[in-house]
Chain A
Amino acid sequence: MTFDVDYAIRILPTLLNATVVTFQATIWGMTFAVVGGLVLAILRMSRFRPVSATAGFYIEFIRSTPLLTQLFFLFYILPLYGLALSAFVTGVLALGLHYSSYTAEVYRAGITGVPRGQWEAATTLNLGPLQTWRLIILPQAIPPVIPALGNYLVSMFKDTPLLATITVLELLGTALTEAGLSFRYLEPITIVGAIFLALSLPSALLVRGLERRFATR
């Protein structure tokens, strides 16, 4: 069996269209993870022990269990409790939840990197906790971790094909559907690999650029 170029060209537009769904899942999932991770990081650093311990366990648990299994968990279990979300929304939810436990650790590193004196200065200025976080700590903690967040964006992008397993027709799902119709796997799967490569290589370069841009030294 050889690579059938005509067939590849015929299915290319369909696959490129499906890439839009891949992008949507990545963007929504990352939006969730960027916000959720920050909330988790702040909870994790709470001085109220039960809160920080719960957040810590949650982060540890999510990070050491597979995204695919979490995806199945949400997809099969949520409907049992009357929460019937579409496959796409379930997928975005799983991506967001999974990656917020990673971004939480990224934010935590950034927050820990803010010098103690900044906290003390905020106390001296009589700022409340909310103002301290919003005006003093976060503006200094976030810029240095932007490249690390960028890395997770690229990782998430590469994890979106998992959504195919819960019937989302993103890039891989569409390719497998095509393959199922034509009984040809070589072309669809090769094209999926090529599209991922073509998109994730430049993004990795972009992240390296960000690292230089935000380098502290």
Chain B
Amino acid sequence: MSSPLDLLPQLLAGAAVTVQLTLLGAVVAAFFSLVAGLARLSSNRAVRAIAAVYVEIFRGTSAIVQIFFFFYVLPITGLSLPAFLTGVFALGINVGAYGSEVVRAAILNVDRGQRDAAVALNLTRAATMRLVILPQALVAMLPPFGNLLIELLKGTSLVSLITITELTFAGKLLLRAEGRRDEIYVLVLLLYFVMALPITWSVRWAERRLSRGLHLGRTG
């Protein structure tokens, strides 16, 4: 009689890949969020339009369809990446589209007076953004970014469909090898839950920390 714990080493190996995908995807997503978020606020019409098209396309279609597109269609056009990198980029670009809205909203929410003050101090546009607006906006971005990080973590499961042995695919392989083992998927789900916990806690902590002194919501 084997115990469910026998399954753990292989699942943990999968979970490690899931973590890598999440972290690398987050870097790509952060880059796209920031660039597209700033571009949508650009004074240049063409830049704004390109950013808007990017956001609408990637938010308007499914992540899974995008991953298949990157995996099956891009190689035909000569742009061939290893499956792992395809996954990282597809996930990062997808989440970046949602993230850009977070960046945009956070920047727009910075008090108007801060901009006026920057003008009064004779700061250039770039310096205003870098020294005054972004540091304040960044704080407001953290909780929604945390939620997007959980979405990204969950999204990595989609990459199992393009041959990458992350956690979900590791579970599927085990199920095939071991036959009837109902506990495999229970363990897989639990592992996702455990991986998401630190993010969930950080988001809650950040939300509490940020709302301190802001007099938002109910007191007590």
Contacts and interface: CB of A to CB of B under 8 A. Distances in A.
A70 interface: yes
B143 to A, nearest CB: 15
A182 interface: no
A35 interface: no
Contacts, number: 108
A215 B56 CA distance: 24
A68 B155 CA distance: 9
B60 A200 contact: yes
Given A60-B200, A64-B150, A189 B65 contact: yes
Contacts of A67: 154, 157
B86 to A, nearest CB: 13
Contacts of B73: 185-186, 189-190
Chain A, interface residues (CB within 8 Å), range: 35 or more
B171 A200 contact: no
B197 A158 contact: no
Q: Per DSSP, are chain B's interface residues mostly helix, strand or loop, or mixed?
A: helix
Given A69-B168, A80-B180, A189-B73, A61 B193 contact: yes
Interface residues of B, number: 41
Given A186-B76, A189-B68, A197-B61, A68 B158 contact: yes
A186 B68 CA distance: 10
A8 to B, nearest CB: 13
B142 interface: no
Contacts of A193: 61, 65-66, 69
Interface of A: 1, 60-61, 63-70, 72-73, 76-77, 80, 158-162, 164-165, 172, 176, 179, 185-186, 189-190, 192-193, 196-197, 200-201, 204
